[in-house]
A = this chain, B = another copy of it.
Amino acid sequence: MKVLVATTNMNKFFEIQSIAPSWIELLSLSQFEQVPKVEEYGNSFVENSIIKAVNYANFFQIPVIADDSGLVIDALDGKPGLQSARFMEGQPYRIKMTRILEQLKGVENRNAAFHCAASFYDPKTSILLSFEGIIKGSIALEIRGEGGFGYDPIFVPLHRTKTFGELPQDLKNAISHRARAFRGLFHLISSVFHSRGPMPSGDRAG
């Protein structure tokens, strides 16, 4: 089965490819010339990942997987959350992270979690599958490490002392919210498409 991954970020694409079962051939958005702009108006990671998957799938008429992720900080009422990418838009992540550390100055509850919702939609059968991965942890007292991307250098996973910016890439990729989301999603896709054969025919329309 050919499946389009709705991302132009090749790091993310290869991370997802390393988790995908061998019977799924992944395509990336960068292989297409014309790519529609999809507005993310959902109120949760799950909704936004579905909006992306469904819209790209209807446009390209092939199965699509898409994800939406963000950092949820308890003491900031869940912010930046859904706005993780758009928070202080245009500013480098070093500036965004500095702003978050300022907001948490003297705050004792530094609990936080990375969320990632991954969704699959096949426009031919109208089957939609989705799974959310979460990794809990806390916000470090300062920016640490050069690895990863986004907010990785201020996030310390539970039971660890190093930030996602300091941990080896392969370890981070094994335990991350994105890895959990895509492992769960590929498990669902396999359950539905690989082990039981196709849906009973004529079920959708006639």
Contact = CB atoms under 8 A, between A and B. Distances in A.
A178 to B, nearest CB: 12
Given A44-B54, A195-B195, A204 B132 contact: yes
Interface string A188-199: 100110011001
Interface in A103-156: 113, 117, 119, 125-136
Contacts of A200: 183, 187
A187 B195 CA distance: 13
A180 B126 CA distance: 11
A151 B61 CA distance: 30
**What are the 7 A-B residue pairs with the smallest beta carbon separation, nearest first?**
A134-B205, A128-B130, A126-B132, A191-B191, A191-B192, A184-B203, A191-B196
